[in-house]
Amino acid sequence: MVLPPGLAGRDPDRQLRQRAQFRAGHAPGPEQCQLRVGRRREIGDGRLRLQSRRLELCAGRGDLGHGADPPRPARICRLALFLAAARICAGRRGDQLHVPRARHRPALPQGREVRAVLAFLLLASAAGAPAATVGRAFYGTTLDGQRVDQVTLRNARGMTVRIIDYGAIVTDVVVPDSRGTKANVVLGFGNLADYQKHNPDYQFGAVIGRFAGRIAGGRFSIDGRPVQLARNDGPNSLHGGPGGIETRVWAMRTFAGKGGAGAELTVRSPAGDQAFPGAVDVRVRYTLTDDDQLRIDYRAASDAPTVVNLTNHSYFNLAGAGSGSVLGHRLQLGSPQLIETDEHGIPSGRLLAVAGTPFDFRAAHSLGSRIGVAHPQLVGRHGYNHGWWLGAGGTLRRAGTLTDPISGRAVDVSTSEPSITIYTAGYMAGKDIGAQGTPYRAFDGVALETQHVSDSPNQPRWPSTALRPGKPFETTTVYRFHAGPPAPARLAMTIDDLPLHGPIPANETPLSVGRRTIAALRTAGLTSVMGMINGHWTADQPVTLQVLKEWRAAGLPLGNHTWSHLNLNQLSPEQFAAEVARNEPLLARLEPAGDWHWLRYPFLSEGDDPAKRASARAVLKAHGYKIAAVTTGFDDWAYTAPYARCVAKNDQAGIAELTRLYLQSAEESIRFARTLSWAVEDREIPFVLLQHSGALDSYLLPRLVAIYRRNGVRFVSLPEAERDPFYARDVDPGLPGPANLESRAAARGIPLPYRASVMDRLAAICA
């Protein structure tokens, strides 16, 4: 390596006094990096020691001294020094390294001298590196042949934002949760072709203009001049009509500096564009700061009187884009007033007090918990698609906070705009595939659109959207991302169909499956998992009684699943009572001192008419039973038969696919249950999990437990879970029931999160 001029001499005093100037990298403007060297100073995880006759850089066990060939860590450190020397002060052009005068020492040998200089250079490079970075790469080519680039903004904390110059679209906002797990929290497509083809229906991440929101009849006047826009939303114009600036390729430049990095995008909308008068120059500046703020500064200037209303149309899902419904997200808005609109979304000119309505988010609550309330402003709206009044605007102030209680991720919204529109994406129909490879369905995201009020050009009571020459439109919105501790989750595991859930593979026995299950529970420390028994197996196959004995020997409790596992829909009340009673002597022998008065309905059927349900509950009440509810599960029973088929055929690929689907379904099921709990109850209930005693279940039980624990679950007993008030109708069958999460959602008009079925795929595996 050739040293810069002036550093090749052997006099260390002169070397330490000189300034070494380097030119490298692309960033404009000089910066200075200073390094002070004392007799001993800690720097990062290394130690720089300047002694009378030698300089050493110690990193871990590596020592860059002389003598024999250094150990491998030292060689790695040496290589790092040489590489770092080429990028002093993180590539800043004209940077200077200043080293204060040191007292005279004997000349260092040439090799040590080189290493001393390189050590200084490495430390100077680290000291001068900017916190935020910007990258730019080719993204695609539009249908008319224009190049589209994507920029990547990354701050010192690891947050990442990606933007393309087509539509000034924010394609990614990647943020960590409180445990450091990162996720992209905005919806979008995976390629430019999909953005061009499908995004006119959604405007994912795009800057909307010329006019965000609706204009009644598509008509307005500016200085007495009538303007007619395209009507693309029933009788009205939405977002200025088709072909707005969200479909154009913008000019884009990037910047980075102390505290942040960003991209500035500009586009010209010519006079007559979308039928709007005046040529308008739009500038949008995205800045990602080192404190995890995404700041958006908008500016528009026109050469003739016109109107303008700009916003960003990102849809947020703080659990991660493509993860399902956001109705469990909690929203807090400080606004006490809703902008009243007609059935077409056109403001009436009135402000409604939110107190006592489903629009009152002054205290945070979930998006789903009141979305089904009967209210004139919710009729026919497919959820929330409304504007809240924030005040006349002009100054940046906080509008609200959106939180995903499951991951702990949150975003605060501040804006200088006079209103914020909350759109829960109720019109998305699952017809288009997002970047994550899954369809986006209704309520899979929520847009937080800061903007002027819809139809402002026709309603002078609202802040004006008129844009005149020499008086530019300027506004700012800031999204600040952060994460708190996730909501705690509790879950009681129960296992049905003991002592045998079949069919079982030919190489297995009920005892081998049972013992594997018991061992897995013991290893996981789960000693309160209740097993629900069908006693007829002990009569039909006496060997199965040993499974129940060993279950009890492990300290695991038992409950009643009826003697024969018959469907209550096919039984009279007397037959049902007999099925329950016939199991009791066996339970009493196995658990004489325990509370086995817990009943799990076979097939989860409580009766197919009100009279049958009432009589069944009366039987249970009379015999002192509590109902073992089910609030989460993933139809694990359906894997039992295909697994037996695959084992019989020695089809390892089939077994691998079953395993993949099983574990994937388990993960999706707990997310579904937690989201539904927040959407319906606005809190996290303790869940009761239904599992079965199948052969594949027994093999995968350790991995299943790991999945739940990775999702923040703490395992509890069934009695502890059902002490929660949610289960009041289960612990007291004298109350009317049933009342699970799904039935409560239906009763309150709350849309259920989408849940994929794997039944067809299971039927085909090893068939």
Selected catalytic residue, list 449, 579, 657, 684: 449
pLDDT tens-digit profile of 459-478?
999 999 999 999 999 999 99
**Which letter does DSSP use for residue 455 in this model?**
T
CA angle (584, 540, 536) in 5-degree steps = 25
pLDDT value at position 39?
32
> Which phi-psi region, left, alpha or beta, contains residue 91 (left: φ > 0; alpha: ψ -120 to 50)?
left
Q: Is the dihedral of CA 656, 659, 665, 667 positive or negative?
A: negative
State the Cα–Cα distance between residues 303 and 212, nearest whole angstrom.
20
pLDDT value at position 110?
53
| Under-50 pLDDT residues of the chain | 1-109, 113-114, 116-118, 120-127, 129
Domain ranges of the chain: 12-128, 134-483, 489-764
φ/ψ (deg, to 5) at 194: -70, -35
- Residue 313 falls in the annotated catalytic set: yes
488: tokens are: 């705690």
Quickly count: other Cβ atoms within 10 Å of residue 33's Cβ. Answer: 21
Contact of 333 with 398, CB cutoff 8 Å? no
pLDDT tens-digit profile of 163-207?
999 999 999 999 999 889 999 999 999 999 999 999 999 999 999
Contact of 217 with 241, CB cutoff 8 Å? no
285: tokens are: 């500046």
Q: Which of 29, 6, 1, 25 is nearest to 99 (CA)?
A: 6
- Residue 574 falls in the annotated catalytic set: no
Residue 583 vs residues 303, 461, 497, 536, 593: alpha-carbon distances, Å: 86, 73, 13, 8, 16
Give CA 500 to chain center in angstroms: 39
**Which letter does DSSP use for residue 514 in this model?**
H
pLDDT value at position 393?
72
CATH of range 134-483; options 2.60.40.3080, 3.40.50.300, 2.70.98.10, 3.30.365.10: 2.70.98.10
Selected catalytic residue, list 113, 239, 246, 313: 313
Q: What are the residues facing 491 on neighbouring strands?
A: 687, 715
Residue with tokens 């947050």: 159
Reduce the DSSP state of residue 44 to 3 states and report it.
coil
Residue with tokens 């042949």: 145
In the chain, % helix, strand, coil (3-state, to 5) comes to 30, 30, 40
Give me the amino acid identity at 232: N
Residue with tokens 């006119």: 200
pLDDT value at position 749?
95
pLDDT value at position 738?
79
Q: Which of 674, 685, 691 is nearest to 753 (CA)?
A: 674
Give me the amino acid identity at 466: A
φ/ψ (deg, to 5) at 335: -70, 135
Residues 6+ apart with CB under 8 A from 289: 132, 155, 259, 260, 295
The DSSP code sequence of 312-348 is E-PEE-TT-TTS---TTSEEEE---EEEEE-TTS-EE
**Which letter does DSSP use for residue 86 in this model?**
T
Q: Which of 353, 375, 294, 366 is nearest to 325 (CA)?
A: 366
CATH of range 489-764; options 3.40.630.30, 3.20.20.370, 3.40.50.1100, 3.30.460.10: 3.20.20.370
pLDDT value at position 663?
98
pLDDT value at position 117?
46
Q: Count how many Cα atoms sit within 13 Å of the Cα of residue 726 in the half-sphere of its side chain.
A: 25
